Amino acid sequence: MKLEEFNNAVKSKISCGYEFKEDKDSYSNPSAWIILKDKRDSEVVAKAIKAYKGRCVVATAYKNDGEDVHTVIYHFDIAGTIINMQLQTDDATIHAITHILPSANWAEREIREMYGVEPIGHPNKDRLFLDYSIAKGVLNEYISLSKMQLGVSDTDVLWNNVNKEAN
């Protein structure tokens, strides 16, 4: 599959615009990013993924610093090519794509449970990990591992302590 071909398959169906970026990893494997302007267009991308016999590998989410906005990124695979779809939600809801791609089931449930972002229309309301006594969205309270590894937390306290111990 050529990324240009995939881009053309979604281009005419996206209602509110998007950004399409092609990329290659360190092994020259192609990948792409689709950054949606409107989260409702996620179903258009999911239908294109399905048409190309792709699947949802995983999805990631995080709450944007200082904002009441979540970013959600779905990571899809089509015959070894990774397509990443990024969207934002300011009302903690997304449109579920599990009815189009059953492989998104676990990822959407995890986003609901861990970040409190509700996949509207998702067929399964059961939790995956957390006891029902723990509030949905509990991970919004913590600094993500990826942020810590990049050193972009709100303070340098963590890295100052790490560096102190190393010396």
Task: List the domain boundaries for the chain.
Answer: 3-166
Q: How many CB atoms lie within 10 A of CB 19?
A: 10
Residue 119 has pLDDT above 90, yes or no: yes
The mean pLDDT value of the chain amounts to 85
Superfamily holding 3-166 = NADH:ubiquinone oxidoreductase Nqo5 subunit (3.30.460.80)
> For 81-90, 121-130, 131-140, which range has the lowest pLDDT when averaged over its residues?
131-140
CB 154 within 8 A of CB 65: yes
CB 54 within 8 A of CB 69: no
> For 85-94, 112-121, 137-146, which range has the lowest pLDDT when averaged over its residues?
137-146
Average pLDDT over residues 99-118: 93
Residue with the larger pLDDT of the pair 68 and 18: 18
Q: Whole-model pTM? A: 0.79
Average pLDDT over residues 126-149: 64
